[in-house]
């Protein structure tokens, strides 16, 4: 069995799988070598629909050995990165002029800052997901994260993209398209963490373009967050977890489509469960390192939407509530 997964030159016959063995697959986490042949024999269950993604993070075990893929369907290089995904315009973006009030710092152990998280830290549905439920490292995101703002005010902060001089306005001047994700944190003091992603253009008929120009129902059914807490207390890591979540199904979201941008205002306070987790996180936020990846989820309707691609990913390190500033928003 070990040679069948590691030696492409000699593929051994697969051992027949008994039906009752499949029922205990999820309880055997950590035995990936033994379980991979059991799990991949199961059909994809498309009947489950919930707030979180239909598959839990245990889907990472649905990875087939490369030797079992047909040559025409292999989408990974030797480093496990996706091939053929950067065929769109890969020209350099002029990052000058972009700024946010929260600083970027790429050094390890830095505090009260953000950095771009490696897309390969997150696993997304592969080109072959409909056949074997396999997931792969996400690779390079579709958009570039150029700035992060950390705001506070006595009221909720909506439509921050209209703020003069913000990254959205700078991107428009450069002829770029931008996506602003505004995570709104309620309380006696309201906070907003705003991530600004930019790209040179939207690829016509791409999933991202259809998401940007779609209606709210379509957007809510596709906008997904993958969280992770690489550093923090056990209770926080368990509470936040790493299971992908369809934000539009869990909390209230307002989409604002501008001429050259889309702003996504995510009201975290609209969910009792999310509010409870948030209260726990805010109490120890200075001790946490949090990773977040955003993507437009594949819904199983079109094979061409696979593999999934990240919009972008960010790491927030030891954020201080006191560093948030009051924004100047036009009425």
pTM given for the model: 0.73
Most confident option among 29-43, 161-175, 289-303: 161-175
- Phi and psi at 160, nearest 5°, equal -75, -15
Integer-rounded Cα radius of gyration of the chain: 21
Question: Is residue 324 helix, strand or coil?
Answer: coil
- Phi and psi at 190, nearest 5°, equal -90, 135
Tokens of 156: 């909720």
- Conformational region of residue 85, where left means phi above 0, alpha means psi within -120 to 50, and beta covers everything else: alpha
Q: Give me the pLDDT at residue 331, please.
A: 56
CA 63 centroid distance within chain = 20
pLDDT tops 90 at residue 131 = no
Give the tens place of pLDDT for each residue, 34-56: 444 334 333 444 333 333 344 44
Question: Is residue 166 helix, strand or coil?
Answer: coil
Residue 107 burial (C-beta neighbours within 10 Å; 0-12, 13-18, 19+) = exposed
The mean per-residue pLDDT over the stretch 195-218 comes to 93
CA angle 318, 147, 121 (to 5 degrees): 60
- Phi and psi at 114, nearest 5°, equal -130, 160
Distances (CA, A) of 110 to 114, 227, 240, 288: 9, 20, 22, 12
Helix (H) or strand (E) holding 289: strand 289-296
The mean per-residue pLDDT over the stretch 241-267 comes to 91
């Amino acid at each position: 069995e070990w040679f069948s997964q590691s030696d492409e030159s000699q593929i051994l016959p697969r051992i027949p799988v008994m039906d009752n063995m499949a029922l205990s697959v999820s309880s055997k986490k950590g035995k990936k070598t033994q379980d991979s042949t059991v799990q991949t024999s199961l059909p994809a269950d498309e009947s489950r629909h919930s707030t979180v993604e239909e598959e839990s993070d245990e889907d990472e075990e649905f990875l087939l050995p490369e030797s079992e893929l047909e040559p025409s369907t292999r989408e990974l290089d030797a480093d496990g990165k996706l091939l053929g995904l950067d065929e769109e315009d890969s020209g350099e973006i002029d990052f000058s002029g972009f700024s946010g009030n929260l600083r970027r710092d790429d050094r390890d152990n830095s505090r009260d800052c953000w950095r771009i998280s490696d897309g390969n830290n997150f696993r997304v549905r592969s080109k072959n997901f409909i056949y074997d439920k396999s997931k792969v490292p996400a690779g390079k995101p579709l958009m570039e994260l150029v700035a992060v703002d950390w705001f506070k005010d006595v009221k909720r902060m909506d439509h921050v993209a209209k703020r003069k001089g913000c990254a959205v306005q700078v991107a428009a001047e450069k002829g770029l398209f931008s996506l602003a994700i505004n995570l709104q944190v309620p309380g006696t003091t309201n906070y907003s963490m705003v991530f600004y992603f930019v790209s040179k253009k939207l690829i016509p008929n791409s999933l991202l373009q259809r998401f940007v120009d779609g209606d709210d129902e379509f957007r809510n059914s596709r906008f997904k967050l993958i969280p992770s807490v690489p550093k923090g207390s056990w209770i926080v890591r368990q509470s936040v977890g790493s299971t992908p979540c369809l934000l539009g199904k869990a909390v209230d979201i307002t989409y604002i489509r501008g001429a050259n941008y889309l702003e996504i205002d995510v009201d975290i306070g609209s969910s009792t469960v999310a509010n409870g987790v948030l209260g726990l996180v805010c109490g120890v936020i200075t001790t946490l390192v949090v990773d977040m990846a955003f993507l437009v989820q594949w819904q199983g309707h079109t094979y061409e939407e696979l593999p999934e691609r990240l919009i972008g990913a960010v790491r927030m390190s030891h954020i201080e509530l006191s560093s948030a500033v009051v924004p100047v928003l036009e009425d």
